[in-house]
A and B are shown apart, each in its own frame.
Chain A
Amino acid sequence: MRNLSELAGEVRSGGQGRTYAIVAGLILLAFLYPELVDPLESIPLIGDFVPRTDSMVVMIVFTMMAVGLNVVVGYAGLLDLGYVAFYAAGAYTAGWFASGHFEQVTFDFLSTAPDNAVGIHVSMWLVLIMAGVFTTIVGILIGLPTLRLRGDYLAIVTLGFGEIVPQFVRNGDSIGGFDLTNGTFGISPIDSLGFGDFVFRSESNRAELFYWTAVLLLLFTVFCCLRLESSRLGRAWIAIREDETAAAAMGIPLMRTKTWAYAIGAFFGGVAGAFYASFKSGAFPADFYFNISVFLLCMVILGGIGSLWGVILGGMILGYLNVEGLATLGSRLQEGGLDFDPTKYQFGIYGLIIVAIMLFRPTGLIPERRHKIEMEEGVQDTPLYDVAQGNVTTEQDQDRP
């Protein structure tokens, strides 16, 4: 194994300027993407596989959620199988505060909705923040009673919440006679992003406007995560991930630190959910189910648990497959005379990716340095690890008749 610290040193000393240049170039490319789509699509053979701008919006939204999930799963090492609950909470916040759902009131605050429209219409930009805050509160409420559990118990509780929240929104059309979520129909239409009369949804370059907003949101998320990674809190998360008992012994407040991980992870999920609801103009209960949680988890695993750049890569790859790639591939296969529809088996394909990654490259496409060491040398985060780690079949065992 080549010395990792040496490698890291190289990057830090010589490569810093180059890294910045690469990142700046990528950001520039990302903003110019809508202009590049047309030339790219005209390339023969691979042109069909180039994602359209509105597909890119969806891909970025899911990537943003994956980056949020990475805070919980990657940094703090808390397996969350119910992230879809935060997505739903964000989307429904948008539904409550930026649509005509509550017919009882008429309230407008800097929104893009027509004047005197019924319902609550708060500016969608504010709603993004409100969704983040509300989801953070949901995250803390879910976290407080459950975070004292460890490992797979926590995974199961989050899974439970991930199942309860969608059923709650599906059945929430008469909570004591009050229509909170409009049941299976969902809340629609939800206001568009925009400024006064400049409404994104009614502009001709609507996809581009939403796309640029999505890129900005993702950049903001990435910036927050980068700062968090090396902050006191981020280091505390990694300490907990590596060894909870030792972290507690070193004076890290376990509950508070874990709850922060939950809250911050939830915040990004909520903002992404609200943004997506505004893009799609609706929050529908059919969108929130367990598979989405697994899909997001799959992005994190594919990219590399805890590795910010990896998760973005994993998110874009899987997001692309989900939105466009598999469908394009399917139509290509059918043109070639093969009757196979990959979109029907998309979750089987994601399952294969998860298993393959776990078996052959458990650190993901772009491994995070510390996590790689943890995977190779093992960690000591529960007493049971001692048992699990011992190489049970030694030569001695096999010698026995």
Chain B
Amino acid sequence: MTAALDRLRASSYVDKVGLTLVAVVLAWLVVNFAKSPAEFVNVMLIGLTNGAIYGVVALGYTLVYGILQLINFAHGDVFALGGLSASTVIVSLLGLDTDSSVPVIVGGMLLVLVVVMTSFALINATIERIAYKPLRSAPRLAPLITAIGVSFIVQNIALAFYGVNFRSVPNFVPTTDVFDVGGISYTWKKLVALLIVVPLLLILTWFVKQTKQGKAMRAVAQDREASAMMGIDVNRTISVTFLIAGALAGAAGIVFLLQFNMRYDTGFELGLIAFTAAVLGGIGNLTGAVLGAIVIGLIQAFNEGLTWLAPGSDWTRTIVFGILILILVFRPEGILGERTPEGA
């Protein structure tokens, strides 16, 4: 306790302001919990589920940032296009509906996952090849600006194919409760999101930690020149990173589509939220991205779901971006990241 106090005294005023803010938020949460515990837990479960979905998108940002130091603005729009194409596959090709049998739904979903993830992996890698690769040696703002351009192009492709209307799929996953204990409930529909997201995260972790290609990715992220000297094919590794990021975007699109409506510009806003999550967790850090996404998901759910002194959904964007700015100002390395020269 005294040690903690000493550390607090030694910290700069910037840290103190940051800690005070966190303390205020925690106090607000405690009061809300005391007022209605069941509602609080329900809101928290919603936040966790949404956070998991944001996490998959945030991973795409953080993977690419880790390896190229590029904020891939187009990622959010690739995600949205992925979700929209999934709606075509689900509704028009497979014809899944509320009365489909369980094996058909499970098989269909697996098929959708494979098809969408593969095609969007390839699309994302193609974007990298065409738009970012020629700028590898340009000043760093050049690929960033290009990424904004690509983002608008992808968004308009989605607009051309799907128009301005929102798309959704039939509720073939039952909306009945998995459990309902003392007013705390969780639906199958939400559980499906976790059933897709959690294995994906495990596979990704295994890939990055254990496989040769994953090790190459980490090496290139650490020092591109040295990796090249050690015989790692840097261009191939970057392509693989974009393949993985694209596959994740596709998967996230599917999961998002199962929960919400989406249209051509969904990806932009969600992309920004996911990017905030990645920064919050420490950009470039995989665990951090998921952690940050869950925190953002919780904050959003608390803001929109709690009743006592919650600003409400009108202010969600302001809160999310306010957090982004506060993190970048107070702790640019994020929760789990390391200090970089940009943020120092």
Contacts and interface: CB of A to CB of B under 8 A. Distances in A.
Interface string B327-344: 011001000000011110
Contact of A359 (B134, B153, B223): B134
Contacts of B140: 151-152, 382, 384-385, 388
B145 A392 contact: no
A347 interface: yes
A348 B328 contact: no
B188 interface: no
Given A359-B135, A390-B225, A354 B148 contact: yes
A124 interface: no
B146 A355 contact: yes
Contacts of B131: 355, 359
Given A348-B153, A348-B157, A352-B153, A294 B138 contact: no
Interface stretch (B49-57, B229-237, B296-304): B229-237
A390 B315 contact: no
A167 B156 contact: no
Interface residues of A, number: 60
Contact of B325 (A79, A157, A385): A157
B225 A354 contact: no
B257 to A, nearest CB: 23
A171 B316 CA distance: 11
Given A163-B272, A393-B234, A348 B152 contact: yes
A354 B328 contact: no
Given A145-B329, A352-B149, A392 B341 contact: no
Interface string A357-392: 011001000000000001100110111111111111
Interface string A144-164: 011001111101110111011
Contacts of B268: 290
A80 to B, nearest CB: 11
A351 B139 CA distance: 19
Contacts of A381: 139
A2 interface: no
Given A149-B332, A163-B317, A382-B342, A358 B137 contact: no
B146 A149 contact: no
A33 interface: no
B150 interface: yes
A392 B234 contact: yes
A168 interface: yes
Given A348-B156, A390-B224, A167 B136 contact: no
Given A79-B141, A159-B272, A344 B233 contact: no
Interface in B63-118: 69-71
A362 B146 CA distance: 10
A145 B332 CA distance: 12
A107 interface: no
A151 B146 CA distance: 15
B153 A344 contact: no
B160 interface: yes
A374 B138 CA distance: 9
B142 A362 contact: yes
A102 interface: no
A308 interface: no
A311 interface: no
Given A146-B329, A382-B341, A347 B156 contact: yes
A198 interface: no
Interface in B250-283: 268, 272, 275, 279
B325 A146 contact: yes
Given A159-B272, A382-B140, A354 B146 contact: yes
B234 to A, nearest CB: 5
B71 A156 contact: yes
A358 B325 contact: no
Interface in B142-184: 142-146, 148-153, 155-157, 159-160
Contacts of B156: 345, 347-348, 351
A286 to B, nearest CB: 14
A186 to B, nearest CB: 16
Contacts of A232: none
A18 interface: no
B235 A149 contact: no
Contacts of B233: 397
Given A155-B144, A301-B145, A400-B231, A388 B137 contact: yes
**Residue with the highest number of chain B CB atoms closer than 10 Å, among A290, A386, A392:** A392
Interface in A291-315: 294, 297-298, 301
A385 B69 CA distance: 10
Contacts of B322: 160, 164
A358 B147 CA distance: 10
A168 B317 CA distance: 10
Nearest to A142: B325
A151 B148 CA distance: 15
Contacts of A149: 328-329, 332, 342-343
B321 interface: yes
Contacts of B272: 159, 163
Contact of A392 (B138, B224, B318, B325): B224
A388 B160 CA distance: 36
Contact of A375 (B138, B157, B317, B342): B138
B324 interface: yes
Contacts of B135: 358-359
Across the A-B interface, give the 3 residue pairs with the lowest CB-CB distance, nearest first: A348-B156, A351-B152, A354-B149
Interface of B: 69-71, 131, 134-146, 148-153, 155-157, 159-160, 223-225, 228, 231, 233-235, 268, 272, 275, 279, 314-315, 317-318, 321-322, 324-325, 328-329, 332, 340-343
Interface of A: 77, 79, 81, 145-146, 149-153, 155-157, 159-161, 163-164, 167-168, 170-171, 290, 294, 297-298, 301, 344-345, 347-348, 350-355, 358-359, 362, 374-375, 378-379, 381-394, 397, 400
27 contacts: A79-B144, A145-B325, A149-B343, A150-B341, A150-B343, A152-B144, A153-B343, A155-B71, A156-B71, A160-B321, A161-B321, A167-B315, A167-B317, A297-B148, A345-B160, A348-B152, A351-B151, A354-B152, A355-B131, A358-B135, A362-B138, A375-B142, A382-B341, A387-B225, A390-B224, A392-B225, A397-B234
